Structure 1
Amino acid sequence: MKHNFGAGPCILPSSVMQQAADAVLNWNDSGLSILEVSHRSPEFEEVVLKTQLLVRELLNVPKNYSVLCLQGGASTQFSMIPMNFLQGKTIASYLDTGYFAQKAIKEARLFGDVEIVGSSRDKDYAYIPDHYHVQHASAYLHVTSNNTIEGTEIFDFHDTGVPLICDMSSDIFSRKINVRDFDLIYAGAQKNMGPAGMTLVIVKNDLLDSVKHQVPSMSDYRIYRDNQSMFNTPPVFAIYVSMLNLLWLKNEGGVEGIEIQNKKKAQMLYAEIDRNSLFVGNANLAHRSRMNVTFRMRNPEIESDFLAFASERGMVGIKGYRTVGGFRASLYNALPLHSVKALVKVMQEFEALQTQ
């Protein structure tokens, strides 16, 4: 049996995979594949609407926010955000908490001045900066709620008096949030929502209406809002599978229910890391991610031995990111608790072998 701890594209529920596979061959008994159906058909327009309504229901999205299904992955948002909201403004503020925050900062600098209000680079991004000041004149503050590579997560979001924009690619739908705390949330689908190919954007309409300058059509959030996310051909299959996955999440007790399960999984694995004489966690205790658990061997010389040992026992995707090394176990919504138990058992068995 395989246990998929991959960081993304990640594990999806087996029931969702089966429904998606059936739809590839014959969608809704139409005689057509979901891959070839017209995105302008009433049937697919209903899929987009249902997906948006599920997002609103599961996250309790207020009426004055728009829900958009876009293409390009979260990385496209790194440039779309400053293109829409920084141009013509004095400065934008960014919190530097790791690899993807750095990528967002790099793109923003193409459109205006960027102030890094806090950074955890001094400790290899093992923590989240808590104390920082944002200029009142700043166009927005950009944060990354969960750092997939470094294994840290923001649990409290500060009100700084400027619009708050958040990259939630790797922890959206994993825990309760107050959407009203944010002016724009974006997330690549390939963690907790669906397959790669779709990007979710939840944006306050007041923020969109504040944009007065011209923006290229394919990068203008207002155009996607006014065209119900279908200004051009949308990522049909990714949206459809995301809809199926959100229905699965709803049936699992919604975000509130899955958060309980995610806490159990993370607590179990971190407890073993802290107990086991061979391993040590990477992130500071207060900022440990529930989605991406990063850890390493106390003796780096046996890391490859453990990786081989774990792979032989069905553990998939636990090798750490290439710039960090060590190990990373991603505990996304669809990963069952028994997979975490299996990984813990492998860690215990390897410890027993090393201490004989």
Structure 2
Amino acid sequence: MSSTVLLNLLRCGRSTIARQTFLAARSSPETSTASGKLVGVVGVRQASGSARFDSDGSGQPVTWDSFGIWDNRIEEPVLLPSSIRYGKPIPQVSLSRVGSASILGLRKQNEDRLRIARIHDNLLYFAVFDGHGGPHAADYCYTFMEKFIRDALEEEDDLEKVLKKAFLDADKALHTHLSYFNNASFLTAGTTATVAMLRDGVELVVGSVGDSRAMLCKKGRATKLTKDHTPDRKDERHRIQRFGGFVTWNSVGQANVNGRLAMTRSIGDFHLKTSGVIAEPDTQRVNVQHANDSFLALTTDGINFLLSDQEICDAINQCQDPTEAADVIAQQVPGALSFALTVTLSRS
């Protein structure tokens, strides 16, 4: 539980002519072959090889400024359907622009898992699972959470409802899976789950259970998108007590459910379900404001114990690239298991 995962997203750069800020992404085979829905641009945006894409209606071509120390002038494939829908150029984000770092520290086993994927041309998936009691729950979510999300998307378009259904379905299926092993200790495994989905480059929806966090950096200031599910919260503690569970505090003042678990929501931990530990996530939806929002960070409790959200934001802003940012964050937890992942979308 002293591990760290960081997703650094949504870095914004400004147009020198339109003075409007957009997400930036490097051109890659993944983005340049997306069913003809993308248009690569350098300096001037063009559609169908001739029509000029002028976001401000001035008739002038859109050109791009440099993107600070993280990027120089780069090609940006554009999501045309999303751009038309929102009335401004929205680039397709390449999943190839990822940096990561992992430090095992004094731990014997890494129980953390993370996953990134492009579910559809216009929908990105980022997930962090901080396991405890063994890797079984985190492994299962790493492998199957995306499937449950895809299944839910066939029935529902609202991403908040999609995430709630996917979390509950994953929890139910995990119980069935672990029961096959006929090993009671497996049923005590659990994991946090923090999932962020970015649709159309604008709609950001986050779902979370446990004490892993998500925060958005707006104009250089950190804004929380999740709340820790711990017994310290009055509403969470009351639910535990209504179910017949109890809360104790250890020698360092950490509250635990039935003296065993430091969180009140998780996927797995089936020995504590009757005591009020649930898998239903809290969700939040925000629209990315390209001129103000620079990145999204997902972190687990190891880094949150030492660094505030603002300190994480400041540290990333001082790094040269996403790989360095991931390494810097991971190095903040000497002696502990640390894992950091950075995904750069654009930079102001």
TM-score w.r.t. structure 1 length?
0.26
The structure in which a higher percent of residues are strand is 2
TM-score w.r.t. structure 2 length?
0.26
The structure in which a higher percent of residues are helix is 1
Higher relative contact order (CA 8 A, sep 6+): 2
